[in-house]
């Protein structure tokens, strides 16, 4: 999320005085380093406050977590900004380590309750988060993208959007019922896990979904193959995860639906998704 420098009153409210913010770029989603604290603009207040509250006390084996820094009056979010402890590292194409970390993370988040905002459907006018809510549901609802009726990108899709819709319709016929329980998962691990040498992988945020744990791992695999240069064998290396082919199927449907619905989708993102769709289809 690209944004300007945090305002001085926000810095002061988080106790960060006489510090010159340093931009951290994409590794921290446009956050600003202030000493050993990172200030980040938030797109959704409820989700940001929820993530901070969870990360405050969550313990995950072999994972470094950025912890929230509360404001001087105890808040997690101030004027659209959150603060977290800085952890070193950058995203690297260590795809198997990301999937392994996903399994450990979701063993730890399995006991968390479903936040109310995850049960709510998108309502006009859509914010960016609504695109991902609708795309997530598209992979599971009986008729994909029912909840997105009337959205401009769906009514007048681009050429690659039309191809995505055709793929979604075809893949939907291959779905079978799954038994894996839904739980709280981080659904955006690709490109957000920070590595630094032999240190444990780190995460700076949790993007919440209410889906089976193996689905979150499948999304990371679909992303890695589509856009991260991962080899096709990555799929087979994690085939022991529960209901793996069906989780991959729903993960690729989810990403195709994001491609259709997101206003900033670009045509060059589609070929990777189409290739991954073919790989997944062969497993079913």
Do 115 and 191 have their domain in common? yes
pLDDT at position 50 is 98
What pLDDT, on the 0 to 100 scale, is given for residue 1? 55
CATH code assigned at 206 = 3.90.1200
Range of the domain at 13: 8-85
In a domain, 2, yes or no: no
pLDDT string in tens for the chain (284-residue length):
556 899 999 999 999 988 999 999 888 989 999 999 999 999 999 999 999 999 999 999 999 999 999 999 999 999 999 999 999 999 999 999 999 999 999 999 999 999 999 999 988 889 899 999 999 999 999 999 999 988 989 999 999 999 999 999 999 999 999 999 999 999 999 999 999 999 999 999 999 999 999 999 999 999 999 999 999 999 999 999 999 999 999 999 999 999 999 999 999 999 999 999 999 999 99
Surface-to-core class of residue 67, CB atoms within 10 Å of its CB (0-12 exposed, 13-18 middle, 19+ buried): middle
204 and 132 within one domain? yes
> Tens digits of per-residue pLDDT, 7-56?
999 999 999 988 999 999 888 989 999 999 999 999 999 999 999 999 99
79 within some domain = yes
List all residues 6 or more positions away from 185 whose beta carbon is below 8 Å from its beta carbon.
106, 109, 208, 209, 210, 211, 212, 213, 215, 216
Whether residues 110 and 194 fall in one domain: yes
101 and 158, same domain (yes or no):
yes
CA distance 251 to 255: 6
Strand, helix or coil for residue 116 = helix
Question: How far is it, in rounded angstroms, from Cα 80 to Cα 45?
Answer: 7
Whether residue 110 sits in one domain with residue 71: no
Cβ-contact 93, 228 below 8 angstroms: yes
The answer to whether residue 90 sits within a structural domain is no
In a domain, 216, yes or no: yes
Residue at 211 is within a domain: yes
Instruction: Indicate whether 135 and 153 sit together in one domain.
Output: yes
Q: Is 213 contained in some domain?
A: yes
Question: What is the per-residue pLDDT for 150?
Answer: 86
* Token pair for 62: 């072999």
What's residue 204's pLDDT? 96
Co-location of 55 and 119 in the same domain = no
Identify whether residues 103 and 77 lie together within a single domain: no
Q: Are residues 140 and 223 part of one domain?
A: yes
152 and 271 fall within a common domain: yes
In the structure encoding, which two tokens stand for residue 147, read together?
């909840």
Structural domains of the chain, count: 2
| Same domain? 122 vs 183 | yes
Mark which of 37, 65, 85 sits at the end of a domain. Answer: 85
Asked if residue 269 and residue 237 are part of one domain, the reply reads: yes
Domain's final residue, options 85, 117, 147: 85
Q: Which pair of structure tokens corresponds to residue 28?
A: 């921290």
């Amino acid at each position: 999320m690209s944004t300007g420098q945090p305002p001085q009153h926000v810095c002061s409210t988080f106790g960060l005085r006489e510090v010159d913010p340093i931009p951290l770029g994409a590794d921290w989603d446009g956050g600003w380093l202030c000493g050993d604290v990172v200030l980040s603009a938030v797109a959704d207040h409820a989700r940001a406050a929820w993530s901070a509250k969870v990360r405050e006390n969550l313990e995950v084996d072999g994972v470094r977590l950025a912890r929230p820094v509360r404001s001087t009056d105890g808040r997690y979010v101030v004027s659209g900004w959150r603060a977290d402890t800085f952890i070193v590292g950058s995203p690297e194409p260590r795809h198997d380590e990301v999937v392994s970390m996903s399994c450990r993370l979701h063993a730890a988040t399995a006991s968390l309750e479903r936040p109310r905002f995850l049960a709510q459907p998108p309502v006009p006018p859509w914010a960016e988060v609504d695109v991902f809510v609708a795309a997530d549901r598209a992979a599971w609802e009986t008729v994909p993208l029912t909840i997105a009726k009337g959205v401009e990108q769906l009514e007048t899709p681009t050429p690659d959007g039309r191809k995505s819709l055709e793929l979604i319709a075809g893949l939907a016929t291959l779905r079978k019922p799954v038994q894996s329980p839904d739980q709280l998962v981080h659904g955006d691990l690709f490109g957000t896990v920070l590595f630094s040498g032999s240190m444990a992988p780190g995460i700076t945020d949790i993007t919440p979904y209410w889906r089976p744990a193996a689905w979150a791992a499948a999304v990371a695999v679909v992303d890695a193959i589509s856009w991260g240069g991962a080899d096709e064998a990555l799929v087979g290396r994690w085939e022991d995860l529960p209901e793996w082919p069906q989780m991959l199927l729903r993960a690729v449907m989810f990403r195709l639906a994001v491609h259709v619905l997101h206003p900033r989708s670009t045509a060059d993102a589609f070929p990777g998704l189409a290739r991954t769709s073919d790989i997944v289809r062969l497993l079913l």
